[in-house]
Each structure stands twice: as C-alpha cells, then as structure tokens.
Structure 1
C-alpha cells in the first residue's frame, strides 16, 4: 500500500528534494510504501542494501528505508513516473515475499534470477550429500537458495535462486560435485580442467534409464551448459540489463516466481 504525502512531512529528505528540484524542473512527489513486516523490509533492501541501491539507480529516485524499530515503510521521492515505477517494484517484491513466507511459491526478489540445474539421477546424492551436508555448504558458500529435486523425478533438477553471479557460482559448484562423483566411481583422478560439456554429454548418455534432455536457453558453449543450467522461459535475468529510461515492466523478471508442483 502506498500513500502520497508532502515532502514537508519528512524533513530528512528536504535537502535532497531541493537538490533534485534544482536539477530538474519537473515537480517532485513523495510516496510512502508500507509492507507487512520487517522481514519484508530486509528482503527488499538486500544484503548491505544491494537491492534497494539497484532500485534507486534504475528508477532515479530517493528511497528512504525504515530504521530498526520504525514502521515497515519505504519513503520514495522523485519525478511522478519514476516514483510510480519504484513503488510498483517494491509492492511486487513485498507481495511475492508474502507468497514465499506462506510456502506457496518460490520467489525471486529484486535483482535475483532462478535457474534449473539438471543432473543425472545417479549423481543427485553426491550433490545433496549425507543429511544434505553438501548442498547446504553450496548454499552457504554461494549465498543462494536451492530446492532439491524430488526423489522420483525423471530428470532431476536443482532450482537455484540468487543474484546472477551467485547463481552461476552455485551452478559451477554443483557441476564440480557431479564431476568428482563420476571420476571417483570410475577410479580416475579429479581434473578441474576437464571439458565439462563433453563430460556431461557422456554422463547423460550412459545414465539409465534414459532421461528427457532439459531445455537450454543459454549458450551451449558455456561450461556444463549442454546439460545443466536451463533458465525459466520468463526469466531473462542473465542478459544485460537495459539502460535507463525504462518502463516498469523491466522489473517483472526480478519479481518472477514459479509455483512449485
């Protein structure tokens, strides 16, 4: 929920408002965006403020975040169209995080993407580890959220959510575990320089029973990409971000979520 207010209600923003007014003749507006909880605030702000900084830069707005103990509300100041864009983005992130809290869906918050990392059934255990120890370590080291595939899945896939860089790091870590497990089973020494694309092709061809090949939307030249790392069709997060000015629709991929079966 957002409420339009006068800038004079927030004296801490007056200095910035005057500066922005002198740079642009358009009138400035201020809106308050309330979210349900402090957990929503933390999710929208991101670690060290990374997500809210990104949103400020993309919308060219001043976004004041609540202090600890304050009501969970963001104060957005800027040109009317820019403010509306930022408000829409915050409201979408809040709504989608609510879905996540309710356990109904897997949500990508501001600046995040989700990829599906497919591995052969015989090697799922090597990626998960005893009592989930391996996948837990990968999550912690790459700062990602990873959903493990169902045990009866025909083509098991790990759903990895996080920033672009962290998601790719997790994909590489999963590929390393599969590669190590394969070479261990075949009594060969682990070689990190092995051509992973050829290796994964070989792994899938030798796996039993045959599995349906995943849809690959990224370049097939990428390591492991011939069989690992398909991106959800609506998720274009791994492509370069468009330059400003932009419409509010560019934020949709960052808030895209996929309902789990």
Structure 2
C-alpha cells in the first residue's frame, strides 16, 4: 500500500517510531526522512538508540509503535527478506560473511538473493559468465580485485568490511544500511572505505550509523543526531557541528568531536 502523503523526494520515512524493552524506551517517537540519493549518517553518544534504530529500519527488530515507509510503501511489519526484495541491504557490526567460502563465492551467493537469482543454487550461478563478471566487477569496485580466490577468513578486518559492502551491493540495493562500518579499522582502512562509499552511484542511498565522526563529516551530506532514544536534530554537517545542543549531548564538550 502506498501512502498518499508520501514525500516524493524521500526514499525512507520513519513516523513516530518507538521501540520499548519492557518499561525501557530505547527509542521514543522518532521521526526521520532520508531523501533518495543521500549520504545520511546517524550519530550520537553511547546509549542514544542508534543501533536500535538501525535494527528497526533493517527489520531485525520489531517496532513497538509508529510506521516505516520505503518509497511510500509501509514496510513496518515486513521481515528482513521482504525488505531485501524491495531494495534494502544491510551490513552489521558483526560480520555475516561465509568465512570458509572464497571472496568470489561470497559475492556469488549474494547475487542469488536478487529476484530470480536463486534458480539452481550457487553452482548454477557460478557457471554463468555474466554472474562471474558481475562478481568480479563488484570486487573491483570495492578495492578487492586480486583477492577473489582467498577464503573470506584470510582477509584483514578492513578487507572483510570491503567485502561486506560488495555483498550488499550484489543484491542491487536502493538503500544501503551500514552499522558502524569503520569499527575496528585503521585510519588507512577507514579512508579507503570512505572513498568507496563516496564513489557509489547516486541511485544507491546510503544510511550509516557511525562513531567515527571524521568519517561522518567527510562522507555525509546529512547528519541525524540521536540522544537518549530521541531525535535531537537533522541537518547539514556544518549545522550539526555548530549546534549547542549537540555539543552538550556529547558529554558536555564545547564542540562536537571530529
């Protein structure tokens, strides 16, 4: 069902979304709009509700109240696989790669998740020259052109994150959700990931939850700040940096850390 009041510049809309764990309100009536093509970051101090919000958007957590719209369609109650079918792909803090399989096979398995891709399983897909070419192109795109034969377990931490992006892109997403993508990365690995995400085509909307504010302010065109389960503000990076309420939320510092 399409909502007639849908903002047509928005790919994702959250309307008064809440998530309660018993009497604890992890999220309390959060409303948020993510426009199509955005590089949108969600930040906030520990306990702000960022990961809970990510879980509601990706479908790994159920909503207590409120609604979530994807391109005007209500997806609030849809399971993860249905959201994937509508163009939502997510990477999480903890790796979901098949570590015993090769880098190339991980991408081929993701290609199976595209509509119609699952016929015949991995062997059938791996036998298609077009699928092999697609997988190699994705590995080139994320900076792993020579690592395709390695088992995923042999990759460095940063390379695994790059592979996770390739796996997500293989599902042909409209909305790419990234949960702490720079966690555990060296500065050089973070810089490579930032450049990779910045270079993604405009038809892929990126929404990331991230602690690394250097990465956020380099990559994002829009930043949402969460605090104690509530939406504090959304604006351009410079607006967020200058906001006194944001500075106060970050442990009373005189400026937003960067």
Fold equivalence (TM over 0.5):
no
| Structure index of larger Rg | 1
Structure in which a larger fraction of residues adopt strand: 2
Q: Which has the higher contact order (CA 8 A, sep 6+)?
A: 2
Q: What TM-score does the superposition give when structure 2 sets the normalisation length?
A: 0.26
Q: What TM-score does the superposition give when structure 1 sets the normalisation length?
A: 0.26
